[in-house]
Structure 1
Amino acid sequence: MSGDQKFWDKIADRYAASPVRDPAAYAHTLDRVRAHLRSDHSVLELGAGTGSTAVTLAPEVATICASDLSPAMIEIARGRADAAGLVNMTTAVGAVSAAPDGPFDVVLGMNLFHLLPDLDAALADVAARVCDGGLFISKTPCLGDMEGWKWRLMLLGLPLAQRLGKAPSVVQKYTVLQMDQAVAAAGFEIIETGNFPADPPSHFIVARKRSPVA
């Protein structure tokens, strides 16, 4: 069991019970995701956590698979899907590289990529799971663009929190520009971006996988 799996398993119940930090930004994000979904889409959500987003979006699509590193998180997600009577939602446990192969019409990754050790490798795993012409939709806190003393103090305290097991072992400080460039370099054409919220920027990207050149 990896250190981060232990961390997320340990906090799963508390995470599931905690309210959404910014309800307006979350609702707007879901609205923008829905704008790109169709009823015949197959969807994979990476880093699905306790399944709130997958359960909310499941009625909009044909199938959705909620995948996460943490078995405890996925157990909660499975319970939420069953409670909602969602017969089109499945679950999977594993790292991004071990997620179901697909290909899928849409791959989602919300609040995930800043917690992974190798962004380019993770995006390559995503690209391998999106069908040609399919969509990759992500949202990533861009800690490299944070402004203000409150956020800087948070970053200063992060190493101590990590040593005490109070934060994930990997927290990357990407900028908005770095995320856009990495997604484009992974073989995607960016078709929509936004920051919800704007400070610190939680960067939303909708990107279409480029079809191979004949």
Structure 2
Amino acid sequence: MKKFVFLFVCVLYLKSCEQKKRPVLGETEFQKEINAQFKDASRSPLKDEDRKHFEGLDFFEFDSTYVVKAKFTRTPNEKAFKMKTTTDRLPVYIKYAELSFTLKGETFTLDIYQNQDMMEKEGYENHLFLPFLDETNGLESYGGGRYIDVQIPESETIIIDFNTAYNPYCAYNDRYSCPIVPRKNYLKTRIEAGVKAFGKH
């Protein structure tokens, strides 16, 4: 009888745990993936106290207007340089290409970079880094700008999906060292897509 009572209590406990375990929030695959990462203690940039109460990041609503096709112009003769960060760390990058695109009737150009150390790592050989600033910074989005990760395209065009723009880890935890967005990559427009500022509603 005691054994039966013990098993019954265990089953009740497990059921209560299942009910407390909420599904990962997000309207798109990107949103679900980043929320899952932030909930995972082994991968989350959040401070422990923030992660305990974390339910999901705030996002702009998905908007296909911010999925643009850009002309990808390779800049092969660029010299490697040390990109400034929020700490004394100076990672080595190279300007890999220029991206030209039209958004809401206006033409913009962004520089895209390749981290020289990261390209040596397996799985990151074709990884490119696209940091940018826009007129939502310090309002709806993080003041320091946002990042987008893309792969080297096989043609002279590339798709930029601003709905996948995410914050530097420094937006959540000051123990991280984050690249500072070059002023050249300031977009004089509002990019109402991607991750919003943390803690603002």
Range class of TM-score, shorter chain: under 0.3
Structure with the higher fraction of residues in helix conformation: 1
User: Which of structures 1 and 2 has the bigger CA Rg?
Assistant: 2
Q: With structure 1 as the length reference, what TM-score do the two structures score? A: 0.23
Larger RCO (alpha carbons 8 Å, 6+ apart): 2
